[in-house]
Amino acid sequence: MTFEGRPWGGFEVLSDAPTHKVKRLTVNPGHRLSYQRHAHRAEHWFVVGGRGVVTLDGDDRPVSAGSAIDVPVGAAHRISSTGPDPLVFVEVQHGTSFDEDDIERLDDDYGRSA
């Protein structure tokens, strides 16, 4: 497994198959992913460490170790790390495409939105 760094932290791909992809993501304290949506995949997130806030279609939900979030296809979503330690979660993607091209960034702290 190779860690892929991003401005907010990074991820490792744990499984990549035609029917699904599994990643472990680490979000550094005070950082967050882009507010985004996908046309071809849904995601299930399971938080394994840290604290944060998930925004799902405009609604904020606090999360911590043991929290699970389902992100339906087309739902606008992001996760933020709000605690003193990195937020770590496992993401299971399922659908018809797992490519980075299936990311529509609605807002991004790092200048990557369309």
Domains delineated in the chain: 3-107 (2.60.120.10)
Give the per-residue pLDDT at 113: 78
Give residues with Cβ within 8 angstroms of 50, minimum separation 6.
27, 29, 64, 65, 81, 83, 85, 86, 87, 88
The answer, yes or no, to whether residue 1 has pLDDT greater than 80, is: no
The model's pLDDT over 35-88, given as tens digits with 9 standing for 90+, comes to 999 999 999 999 999 999 999 999 999 999 999 999 999 999 999 999 999 999
The model's pLDDT over 92-112, given as tens digits with 9 standing for 90+, comes to 999 999 988 899 999 999 988
- Dist. CA 62–CA 56, nearest whole Å: 11
Q: Which amino acid is at 69?
A: I
The answer, as to whether pTM is greater than 0.85, is yes
Give the per-residue pLDDT at 27: 98
